[in-house]
Amino acid sequence: GKPVVTRVGFNANQFVLMSGSGDTQYSPFAVVNGQVFISDAFIQNGSITSAKIANAAINNAKISGSIWSEGYKVANQGGWCLSKADNNLSFTGPEGRLFVQIGKLTGVAPNV
């Protein structure tokens, strides 16, 4: 036969799922005015097009492009860029001036 198509919809300013009982009730997620609030989540596989992250703890990162500071590509501002393609770390200063402060370098570079 034909496949079953099911749709459930809610039209509300707030949609809240409650869990627990008595004084230990809590909401694992809520939808308020079109925004979803999740108290704790595990996403096995995902794709994020754009993100706003205030503070992150990253155990391991695989970066295929470059990483740069906020002012790096802005005229008359300074910044830094770590480029995988160019295999370098570059610094720019405002108005063409370069300011670099190095505290302490330690270690040995093998095969140099």
Is residue 47, in this structure, part of any structural domain at all?
no
Is residue 88, in this structure, part of any structural domain at all?
yes
- What pLDDT band is residue 74 in, cutting at 50, 70 and 90? confident
pLDDT in tens, 16-66: 888 888 899 988 888 888 888 998 999 999 999 999 999 999 899 888 889
Gap between the Cα atoms of 66 and 103, Å rounded? 24
Is residue 59, in this structure, part of any structural domain at all?
no
Number of structural domains in the chain? 2
- Sheet containing strand 66-68, strands side by side: 66-68, 79-83, 88-92
Is residue 85, in this structure, part of any structural domain at all?
yes
**Domain region containing 75:** 66-96
Gap between the Cα atoms of 71 and 68, Å rounded? 8
pTM, rounded to two decimals = 0.46
Is residue 104, in this structure, part of any structural domain at all?
no
Is residue 78, in this structure, part of any structural domain at all?
yes
Is residue 49, in this structure, part of any structural domain at all?
no
pLDDT in tens, 6-24: 998 888 888 888 888 889 9
Is residue 51, in this structure, part of any structural domain at all?
no
Distances (CA, A) of 37 to 9, 18, 63: 18, 13, 29
